[in-house]
Amino acid sequence: MLVGEIMKNKGVGVIAVAPDQTMVEVLRLFRDNNIGFVVVSQSNDEYLGSLSERDCCNAVAEYGAEAAMMRVADVMNRNVATCSTRDLLPVVMGIMTQRRTRHVLVMDGGDVVGVVSIGDVVKHRLDEAQRTEQDLQDYICGTRYH
C-alpha cells in the first residue's frame, strides 16, 4: 500500500507549533488532542523540525524540572524522518526501524501533508491480516468463490 492511500484514509494535515512555545504548552496540546508528535514551524509552508513525546522525555531527563519551561526550539528534532506519498508502507516501516522513530513526516514534493505513526502501520497490518484470514476462511469453506 502507498503512503498516500493511508493519508487518504486517515486524513491529511498536521498539528504545528511555534518554536517559541514552551514544552509544557506542547505537552498540554499532546494531552488535549491525544497525540504524541507535532511539527515545529514558523509559517504554514515551512517546517523547522518536530517534537515528540520522546523528545520531551529526553529533555526532562537531561534538564530536569526546568525542561517544562524550555522553548520548543531548544529541544526539537531538526533531523526529521520523512517519506513520500508515493512510498510503499514497507519503506516507511524500514525508516521507522532504522531511525528508531514512531512518526514519519509525509511529504508531497516540498509540502508537508501529514504524519504516519506506528499506530497507522499497525492498523494497516492488522486490517490486512484480517482480510487475509477472511479470504482463507472463504476459500476453505468454498464461499465467495465461483
- pLDDT greater than 90 at residue 132: no
Within a domain: 144: no
Per-residue confidence band for 146, with pLDDT thresholds at 50, 70 and 90 = low
CATH number of the domain within which 82 lies? 3.10.580.10
**Number of domains making up the chain:** 1
Within a domain: 145: no
pTM: 0.84
Within a domain: 41: yes
pLDDT tens digits, 56-107: 999 999 999 999 999 999 999 999 999 999 999 999 999 999 999 999 999 9
- Using alpha carbons, select from 45, 20, 50, 32 the residue that is nearest to residue 115: 50
Within a domain: 146: no
Within a domain: 83: yes
Q: What does residue 79 show for φ and ψ, rounded to 5 degrees?
A: -115, 75
Tell me the residue range of the domain where 126 lies.
1-139
Within a domain: 40: yes
Give the whole-number percent of the chain exceeding pLDDT 90: 66
- Angle (nearest 5°) at CA 79 between 103 and 72: 80
Q: What is the side-by-side order of every strand in the sheet holding 111-117?
A: 82-84, 103-108, 111-117
